Amino acid sequence: MRKERLVDSNTRIAVTGGGGFLGSHVMESLARAGHRNAVAIRSRDYDLVHEDGVARMLAEVKPRAIVHLAAVVGGIGANRVHPGSFFYQNLLMGSLLMEHARRAGVERFLNVGTICSYPKFTPVPFREEDLWNGYPEETNAPYGLAKKMLLVQSAAYRQEYGFDSSSVLLVNLYGPRDNFDPASSHVIPALLRRCMEAVERGDREIEVWGTGNATREFLYVEDAAEAIAIALSRLDGSDPINIGSGREISIRELVELIARLCGFTGTLRWDASKPDGQPRRCLEVSKSAERLGWRSHTAFEEGLARTIEWYRAARVKSGASA
């Protein structure tokens, strides 16, 4: 664990993706931790996929620290349709940003990675030591590998240049302000939307992809944001650490829970011709407790209830088109 020396309350921090789902919560978490000089970097202002956009951002914002959250992401469907663009954009954003940050004299870089980088058949719970023991699950491998290359870059830059970069690996997130677009959303917002719309229409059946046998781990977004704010100041070295709840749930159990919380009482029909994705996902999270002094604290059903409450309010505000 590092001493909190480089990132203090006055440090100018650039948070890429700071206007997005996770980013907006990270901005709030940094503010709660006393950081008064954090700046949200949005794609409409700076295109980080291109070198000139990265260089201009660094010249104009002049950060001393960077939290790299920006990513092109989506569920299984989006990953299957856009593997090339997901790979290219995520790789370029992270790699260009780290290189230009080094050149500009940025003193601290925190890369926020993904457990999609783990091998498809990683022993459960996922331990950081198993990260390189196989190829990721095929449906999201391009995305996972693009983010994984930033771990290599981080370690290489520390070795050659003494560049102070660290990485955390996030499990699947959920919570208020998530992406509920059916074309690109992840499993929880996609299911919440479908269950709510089914209740509103009076549908008696919902079709769900896969067998329901795959398992996933989920982390409430405010807990994740808190961990990231702590890691920015405290995480030393380039070896990545897992950030998650350490609790596993089957997709079948998840769907049944969301249906109950949304008030859907009809039939759940499983389409086994559709992919399950990685068979199991659950993290070993002892290193985050040891090195950050952090553990998740929001119970899963409580977090789901908060997310449902937020989404219902958002649908009302937008005329049920959120």
CA–CA dist 84, 257 (Å, integer): 34
Q: What are phi and psi of 252, to 5 degrees?
A: -60, -45
Q: How far is CA 125 from CA 181, 248, 279, 281, 286, in A?
A: 30, 9, 12, 7, 11
Which of 143, 157, 174, 220 does the annotation list as catalytic? Answer: 143
Residue 141: alpha-carbon gap to chain centroid: 15
Q: Which amino acid, 22?
A: L
Cβ neighbours for 262, distance < 8 A, ≥ 6 positions apart: 192, 195, 196, 199, 308
Is 143 catalytic? The answer is yes
End-to-end CA distance of the chain: 42
Burial of 156 per CB tally in 10 Å (0-12, 13-18, 19+): middle
Nearest to 218 by CA among 307, 123, 144: 307
Give catalytic residue positions. Answer: 143
